[in-house]
């Protein structure tokens, strides 16, 4: 899903990134001849292990601003970026701090993010009263938008009586979990499986969704969980799955919460050939490295279409790679962030065309929110987006990827999420296998 570029985190996390094409000005002020500055806020996990999630996604936002020429109708357009990782893992409290900071910045009229559902749950109650539009490129927990019996909180409570300000351009875990369950049971022929989660909002939720569908399909399972803050040895859990008779493992979790580290201990137990399945939280460079000598055989879903399978996206991806040339600059959610930012840029332009004044920040933010809420038939890189009343997208595609060993030429193209360059797993990459379209 995401690829890591740890070396440049410190250089970008603390301040805004400004697109300088067509004369963009500095953050917080106006460029030469500019009417002033309009900023799109960003909140993503961008340091330590979490960088494999945030940095390629951030680049998608930056690219959208660059493609816009760094300005909208005479206003300089910038990105106000914030890192919500603490100690290498996403952190909801840091996310709240970041969103509060963005709200207090009168140039910020909308934001892309957050990346993780637990952070979204914490941020929506802060952003909703300020009418700050949030479009997540990657949040998948259904409870953020859907009032389901399986949820332990309600979307209306998060919004505190305010109009909905939260949207996402990806499908949800109540689709992502079942897609992998069907793939495991029907395509891979796995009839008994161990299901593992790392006790987070995302991890438990997606594992529950997988479990329900897998059981409906006719499979049997053993369930276990671990605390990523204290667990360093998973052998007892893995042996428990082995004794149960499982022939594969599904993990609900993310790379920065140690979701792939159990995989790295499987070869020593003689079960390294088992499929190791998960959601978008493990479709990362970090996961491939954490899997160590058992990287081959890891499979993951992502909550959206694979841009590489969409012919109309090819030219955008080519242009992106000319602007972002690092070996791991392209991730699975780069293009969803690009689409999210472009939806906001469109909404900002509509507000300006209607005569709204960005200097009247509260009114302008509300105008942007209203425009985003009316998004219908938006033709993005990943397909057509229409938001429903809850903020969910009409595009309901789940993609499946599997780690395979690739040749040097395939790795060098930069289309794939691979192990860290120069590392022992550099040639192991997530390769698209198939997709499920629940909206068809």
Longest Cα–Cα distance in the chain: 71
Sign of CA dihedral 226, 170, 82, 420: positive
- Which pLDDT value is given to residue 15? 33
- Mapping DSSP to helix (H, G, I), strand (E, B) and coil, where does residue 110 land? strand
What's the pTM? 0.84
Q: What would the two tokens of residue 178 be?
A: 């079942």
Cβ partners under 8 Å of residue 404, min gap 6: 296, 428, 429, 431
- Which pLDDT value is given to residue 412? 86
- Which pLDDT value is given to residue 49? 83
Phi then psi for 215, rounded to 5 degrees? -65, -40
403: which strand partners? Answer: 430
Domains located in the chain, CATH noted: 37-171+313-395 (3.40.50.2300), 173-302 (3.40.50.2300)
CB atoms under 10 Å from CB of 230, counted, come to 6
- Which pLDDT value is given to residue 5? 32
- Which pLDDT value is given to residue 244? 98
> Which strand (E) or helix (H) includes residue 276?
strand 276-278
pLDDT in tens for each of the 440 residues of the chain? 333 333 333 333 333 334 333 333 333 344 457 899 999 999 999 999 888 789 999 999 999 999 999 999 999 999 999 999 999 999 999 999 999 999 999 999 999 999 999 999 999 999 999 999 999 999 999 999 999 988 889 999 999 999 999 999 999 999 999 999 999 999 999 999 999 999 988 899 999 999 999 999 999 999 999 999 999 999 999 999 999 999 999 999 999 999 999 999 999 999 999 999 999 999 999 999 999 999 999 999 999 999 888 988 999 999 999 999 877 788 878 999 999 999 999 999 999 999 999 999 999 999 999 999 999 999 999 999 999 999 999 999 999 999 999 999 999 888 888 999 899 999 999 999 999 999 86
- Which pLDDT value is given to residue 1? 35
Alpha carbon distance 89, 44 (integer Å): 11
Strands across the sheet containing 428-437: 220-225, 192-197, 249-252, 276-278, 298-302, 397-405, 428-437, 417-418
CA-nearest of 402, 410, 406, 409 to 430 is: 402
75: which strand partners? Answer: 72
- Mapping DSSP to helix (H, G, I), strand (E, B) and coil, where does residue 94 land? helix
Q: What would the two tokens of residue 431 be?
A: 């390769």
């Amino acid at each position: 899903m995401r690829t890591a570029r740890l070396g440049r985190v410190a250089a970008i996390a603390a301040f805004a990134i400004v697109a300088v094409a067509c004369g963009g000005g500095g953050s917080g002020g106006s460029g030469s001849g500019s009417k002033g500055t309009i900023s799109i806020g960003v909140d993503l996990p961008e340091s330590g292990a979490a960088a494999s999630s945030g940095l390629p996604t951030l680049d998608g936002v930056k690219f959208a601003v660059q493609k816009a020429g760094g300005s909208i109708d005479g206003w300089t357009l910038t990105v106000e970026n914030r890192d919500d990782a603490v100690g290498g893992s996403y952190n909801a409290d840091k996310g709240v701090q970041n969103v509060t900071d963005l709200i207090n910045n009168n140039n910020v009229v909308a934001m892309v993010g957050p990346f993780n559902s637990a952070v979204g749950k914490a941020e929506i109650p802060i952003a909703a009263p300020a009418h700050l539009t949030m479009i997540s490129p990657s949040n998948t927990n259904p409870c953020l938008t859907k009032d389901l019996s399986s949820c332990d909180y309600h979307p209306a409570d998060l919004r505190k009586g305010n109009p909905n300000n939260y949207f996402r351009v990806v499908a949800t875990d109540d689709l992502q979990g079942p897609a992998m369950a069907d793939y495991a049971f029907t395509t891979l022929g796995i009839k008994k499986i161990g299901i593992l989660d790392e006790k987070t909002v995302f991890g438990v939720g997606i594992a529950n969704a997988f479990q329900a569908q897998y059981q409906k399909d006719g499979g049997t399972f053993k369930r276990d969980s671990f605390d990523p803050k204290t667990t360093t040895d998973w052998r007892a859990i893995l042996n428990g799955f082995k004794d149960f008779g499982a022939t594969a493992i599904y993990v609900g979790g993310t790379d920065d919460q140690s979701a792939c580290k159990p995989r790295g201990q499987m070869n020593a137990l003689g079960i390294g050939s088992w499929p190791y399945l998960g959601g978008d939280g493990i479709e990362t460079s970090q996961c491939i490295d954490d899997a160590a000598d058992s990287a081959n055989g890891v499979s993951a879903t992502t909550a959206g279409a694979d841009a590489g399978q969409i012919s109309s996206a090819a030219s955008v991806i080519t242009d992106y790679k000319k602007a972002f040339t690092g070996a791991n600059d392209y991730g699975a959610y780069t293009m969803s962030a690009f689409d999210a930012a472009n939806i906001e840029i469109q909404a900002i332009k509509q507000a300006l065309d209607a005569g709204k004044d960005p200097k009247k920040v509260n009114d302008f933010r509300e105008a942007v929110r209203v425009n985003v809420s009316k998004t219908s038939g938006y033709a993005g890189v990943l397909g057509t987006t229409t938001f429903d009343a809850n903020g969910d997208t009409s595009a309901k595609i789940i993609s499946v990827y599997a780690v395979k060993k690739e040749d040097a030429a395939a790795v060098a193209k930069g289309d794939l999420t691979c192990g860290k360059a120069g590392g022992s797993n550099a040639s192991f990459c997530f390769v698209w296998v198939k997709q499920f379209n629940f909206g068809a």
